[in-house]
Amino acid sequence: MKAIKTYEHKKILVLGLAKSGVSAAALLHKLGAFVTVNDSKPLSENPEAQGLLEQGIKVVCGSHPIELMDEGFELVVKNPGIPYYNPMIQKAEEYGIPVITEVELAYQISEAPLVAITGTNGKTTTTTLIFEMLETSKKHPLIAGNIGTVASTVAQKATEENMIVIELSSFQLMGIGTFRPKIAVITNLYDAHLDYHGSRDEYFAAKALITKNQTEEDYLIVNADQEEVLKIARDSKAQIVPFSTNEVLNSGAYVDNGWICFNGEQIMETKDIVLPGKHNLENILSAVAAALLSGADQEAIIKVLTTFVGVRHRLQYVGNIAGRKFYNDSKATNILATENALAAFEEPIVLLAGGLDRGNSFNQLIPSLKNVKVLITFGETAEKVGQAGYEAGIKTILRVDNVEKAVPVAFQYSVPGDVILLSPACASWDQYKTFEVRGDMFIEAVHKLR
């Protein structure tokens, strides 16, 4: 960890705790800052805040008092989930106080170069693949961000011998200042999180920040099949490394006659890859590019791609029971992710879908339901998802209370050779705290069938 003096004796507010806030507060305290933590959860119900209090950090809990902003802070480190229209953030901006997220701190103290991955879909799979390829190549990678340990925690133990592979959301990227990854990846861009960003353009602009500080010494790996991503690439100073599943490229990563290729060299045959789906082929191409640019061995890449069966909750193979294959795709919190999951299979599908209602219809999903023989819905959107299934011509549409009850029903209405797929096309928060909890409930219910 770099022993920076940037925050010594500076008065800093950490707004919102969770894992990132706890890590940021403790780090800033270690760097000599005068830290105040503000979290909405009462202190008596807030073990994280209690722990920081024991370290000698000032804690204000139970609400976000706007008058706190009059205490002369020189910096605000906010939880990524707190929107910029929050009154505390607006007051900070009114006073000209810089507002950052914890990943900016991680970059500032890291001795290790960063490989940063963002995009709408595929971030977690791509991040995991890059990490596994570098790990198998004995390059001593560390994994951080949304997928693993908080970035500023990881950065404290990283050395020049390491490389940090970090998954980044648009929320995190909006709070960077000097953050500069050696290698950046943009998997794809589609409409998402518009309730937070306000518009498609604002969301895309947030994603583009990943390359804001890159120079010609750095690399930006981009999806050449998407004009929105190529537009970002045209404004970047980094060396552009494209990838494509649709065409053979002059450079970068692509598929040619059934082979994964990079810069004109064959890496491995696609038939030997165990991870299903065209969308995963995009993830694989971007991961291969990032891994090779980071010094990974071709043999290690082949080993990973012939054994990697998927990230937990992202088209994760759970098992085979009486000839039915079960897949957990709980991380499919939008329609596009479910479309990708459905496209990954040629077998008949029993689809489990539904969740938080954000006001959108599911008409976009209808063309992708052609291989679905049974649709089982749950959650706030159960009726809307069921209507899409009806319009798609699905004969058997059933509504249940939750994921746990959907699994035995799916088994009952399936036959050997079917795929039983949890791919909700919705967020989980109407019934489950996180998509991980929802996926775990699915896995547990599958195991009970045994």
Annotated binding site: 119-125
- Determine the Cα–Cα distance for residues 404 and 425; give it in Å rounded to an integer: 17
Mutual angle of helices 200-208 and 227-234, in 10-degree steps: 50
- Determine the Cα–Cα distance for residues 229 and 210; give it in Å rounded to an integer: 12
Asked if residues 211 and 184 have their Cβ atoms less than 8 Å apart, the reply is yes
Q: Which residues are annotated as a binding site for ATP?
A: 119-125
Asked if residues 137 and 288 have their Cβ atoms less than 8 Å apart, the reply is no
Q: Which residue has the tokens 């800052």?
A: 33
CB-based burial label for 324 (10 Å; 0-12, 13-18, 19+): buried
Helix-then-strand count for the chain, H and E: 16, 20
* 319 backbone φψ class: left, alpha, beta (φ>0; ψ -120 to 50): left
Structure token digits, residue 371:
């291989």
- Determine the Cα–Cα distance for residues 175 and 10; give it in Å rounded to an integer: 19
Cβ neighbors of 421 (< 8 A, separation 6 or more) are 326, 327, 329, 341, 342, 345, 349, 350, 351, 352
- Determine the Cα–Cα distance for residues 169 and 192; give it in Å rounded to an integer: 11
**Which residue from 221, 184, 443, 449 is spatially nearest to 316, judged by alpha carbons?**
443
Output the CA angle 347-353-359, nearest 5 degrees.
135
